[in-house]
Amino acid sequence: MRPRATVPTLRESIRAKRSGQRVFLEDPERRVRVPIDTLTLKIVQELANAPQTPGALCKAVGAPRVEVHRRVVLLNRHALLTTPRSSSQVEVCTSAAALPKASAAELAATTLNAPAELQHGCVACGACCHGSDIGPLSETELGHIAAVDWSEHLPSHIDTSALVRQVPDGRGGEVALTAQHQGRCVFLDGDKLCTIHRVAGPEKKPIPCRQFPYTLTRTPNGIDVSFSTECRAWWRARAAGEPVADELDSIRALLSDGGRVLSLPSPVPLHDGVDWSFEQWSAFRDGWLQTVRDAATYDELVLAVITPVVDAWRTHEAAHAESEYFATRDAWGIPASDGDVLSWFKSASAQLHERCRSAYKDLADAYRETEELQQADRVERLAWAVDALFNGRRVDDLKRWEHELTVWREMVLASIYSHEPVRRGGLLRGTATLAWRLITGRLLAGLTAESSMRARTEEQDVGDAMVLVSKLPRGTAYERLIASLGDTWTNVMLFNALAVSGTAPPVGRRLL
């Protein structure tokens, strides 16, 4: 016999607000807005005054159990109901203060935290000047460009009257970027060197160019220094670089000139309705980094990426399983929906495959329409690897370049050092994307070697693959795709990452 379940009341501070034709539940304490439909609004109105049993709630709103249950799960997921978890989450959010604004001079004086394992010295490969939007350019940087007659320094096929382009910023305005020619910055010369650097001096280069490959993330403990891994010569640059601790003066000078600093979200998001304090995240991150450092094989590295996150989520679920029994299917007398785990995994993977295939095709077509052919080729190359991934392709018989594991490990370390997973839609979704980058990147390096009739991967296979899986996911088109996939992306690429990589059977869904 099932234990009796009662759906708790709505939290007192929650209010329904209308914006045009849409209705939201506004949570002023957690600073979130959750869109709802008409049935959810009826449920909210019933739960505003008193807790309800599932049967009484269904009768009050006049809807089937399955539909009412689905919406109760939504409310609980976003910590909108009065539960022990929502109380603790409110406390986390209300005690998490946003970092105050800081001037360039104040940022330059902030403590800089350097990663011990990572270093980089530019070897002028030119990859960072290909396939990237270089900007946004400030008025000062636009002035530096306008102050030079570039007709004497650029090839004749470059239109020196259009060295800067304006593009929408996604918020109704525009930003200025350097123009491109055949997928590369117009200022990149034939020797893969920067014309601005050569003609006007390194201090006149745009800040994004001077800052690359550093990523700087501000936290309550200072500014954490890490790296973008969009460098196809990563291994050579690694050997040419100095420890970051020896580069702090140049980083401070960059900050004084307006270097871009990201901010760690406060509080730190894990998933919908679940946040950590900075202290909780810092302790977890330290352990996560050590697990990645200790990985001795590729399979161990994949496990090092996903296992700490999965374990943290399981611990969270277990801590609230009893108090949130009311949100389970069992409490509502609804049969489990997953059925056969393998069938679910095949269906979910096929859904991801089709959505990714369609999105990549649309993106490649858009680049071809604007004659950005190299960009289109890069997208199609990545789509080739994604097709192979979801079709179960393996390249295990190839010999691997001797330093390949180190490069993939450093890609993961750089991402964690920069707090990238929690800046990309929360820890679960961000880790799913990191696992995807690792699995797809290694597969792409192998496919490239195999298609070239080689029996082993080489440095360039790995470098090119790392650039592709690092660069494209930070684009807005990719971010929209992942957001639209919702829990399916996380359920497949995080909780079933080993099944995707072909090293273990699927385990089913964790997010319902």
**Adjacency order of strands within the sheet including 262-263:** 112-113, 222-227, 214-219, 262-263
- Residue, of 407 and 337, whose pLDDT is higher: 407
468 and 378, same structural domain?
yes
Q: Are 383 and 444 in contact (CB under 8 A)?
A: no
25 and 165, same structural domain?
no
Q: Reply yes or no on whether the pLDDT at 512 is more than 70.
A: no
Q: Per the domain annotation, does 180 fall within a domain? A: yes
164 and 58, same structural domain?
no
What is the spatial distance between Cα 237 and Cα 60, in angstroms, rounded to a whole number?
A: 66
Q: Reply yes or no on whether the pLDDT at 229 is more than 70.
A: yes
Q: Which whole number is the average pLDDT over 312-332?
A: 95
b/e per residue 308-340 (b: at least 16 CB within 10 A): bbbebbeeeeeebeeebebbbeebbeeeeeeee
Q: Are 284 and 414 in contact (CB under 8 A)?
A: no
Q: Per the domain annotation, does 279 fall within a domain? A: no
Tens of pLDDT, residues 93-114: 999 888 899 999 999 999 999 9
Single out the residue in 48, 69, 95 at which a domain terminates.
95
Residue 212 is encoded by which pair of tokens? 């690359």
CB under 8 Å to 110, separation ≥6 — which residues?
Answer: 102, 218, 222, 223, 255
What is the spatial distance between Cα 58 and Cα 67, in angstroms, rounded to a whole number?
A: 9
How many residues appear in the chain?
A: 512
256 and 172, same structural domain?
yes
Q: Residue 122: is it exposed, middle or buried by C-beta count within 10 angstroms (0-12/13-18/19+)?
A: middle
Q: Per the domain annotation, does 205 fall within a domain? A: yes
176 and 67, same structural domain?
no
Residue whose pair of structure tokens reads 């801590």 in the numeric block:
319
Of 23-27, 97-101, 125-129, 140-144, the one with minimum mean pLDDT is 125-129
Q: Which whole number is the average pLDDT over 485-502?
A: 93
Structure confidence at residue 3 (pLDDT): 64
Structure confidence at residue 137 (pLDDT): 87
What is the spatial distance between Cα 62 and Cα 358, in angstroms, rounded to a whole number?
A: 39
Question: What are the distances in angstroms from CA 417 to CA 118, 237, 260, 473, 490?
Answer: 10, 19, 16, 18, 21
Q: Per the domain annotation, does 274 fall within a domain? A: no
Question: What are the distances in angstroms from CA 463 to CA 230, 438, 478?
Answer: 9, 13, 21
Structure confidence at residue 503 (pLDDT): 87
Q: Which whole number is the average pLDDT over 487-502?
A: 93
Q: Are 501 and 354 in contact (CB under 8 A)?
A: no
What is the spatial distance between Cα 374 and Cα 362, in angstroms, rounded to a whole number?
A: 15
Tens of pLDDT, residues 357-369: 999 999 899 888 8
Count of domains in the chain?
3
What is the spatial distance between Cα 443 and Cα 265, in angstroms, rounded to a whole number?
A: 32
Q: Are 416 and 473 in contact (CB under 8 A)?
A: no
Residue 503 is encoded by which pair of tokens? 């090293």
325 band by pLDDT with thresholds 50, 70 and 90: very high
Tens of pLDDT, residues 53-101: 999 999 999 999 999 999 999 999 999 999 999 999 999 999 988 889 9
288 band by pLDDT with thresholds 50, 70 and 90: very high
82 and 154, same structural domain?
no
427 and 384, same structural domain?
yes
Q: Which whole number is the average pLDDT over 228-254?
A: 92
Structure confidence at residue 71 (pLDDT): 96
Structure confidence at residue 183 (pLDDT): 77
What is the spatial distance between Cα 291 and Cα 431, in angstroms, rounded to a whole number?
A: 14
Q: Per the domain annotation, does 136 fall within a domain? A: yes
Q: Per the domain annotation, does 311 fall within a domain? A: no
What is the spatial distance between Cα 497 and Cα 502, in angstroms, rounded to a whole number?
A: 9
Tens of pLDDT, residues 387-441: 999 999 999 889 999 999 999 999 999 999 999 999 988 999 999 999 999 999 9
DSSP three-state, residue 130: strand
494 band by pLDDT with thresholds 50, 70 and 90: very high
Amino acid letter for position 424: R
204 and 88, same structural domain?
no
Q: Per the domain annotation, does 249 fall within a domain? A: yes
Category of 273 on φ-ψ map: left (φ > 0), alpha (ψ -120 to 50) or beta: left
Q: How far apart are the first and last CA of the chain?
A: 24
Amino acid letter for position 291: T
Structure confidence at residue 88 (pLDDT): 96
Structure confidence at residue 2 (pLDDT): 55
491 and 386, same structural domain?
yes
Ranges of H-type helices in 335-403: 341-369, 373-390
375 and 460, same structural domain?
yes
What is the spatial distance between Cα 396 and Cα 493, in angstroms, rounded to a whole number?
A: 20
Q: Which whole number is the average pLDDT over 253-258?
A: 93
137 and 50, same structural domain?
no
Domain that holds residue 345: 338-500
188 and 211, same structural domain?
yes
Single out the residue in 245, 263, 281 at which a domain terminates.
263
What is the spatial distance between Cα 233 and Cα 26, in angstroms, rounded to a whole number?
A: 48
Tens of pLDDT, residues 130-185: 767 787 888 998 898 889 888 888 888 888 888 888 887 667 788 888 888 877 88
What is the spatial distance between Cα 345 and Cα 355, in angstroms, rounded to a whole number?
A: 15
Angle between helices 298-320 and 84-95 in degrees, nearest 10: 110
Single out the residue in 263, 284, 309 at which a domain terminates.
263
Measured at the CA of 449, the angle between CA 445 and CA 453, to 5 degrees, comes to 165
Q: Per the domain annotation, does 510 fall within a domain? A: no
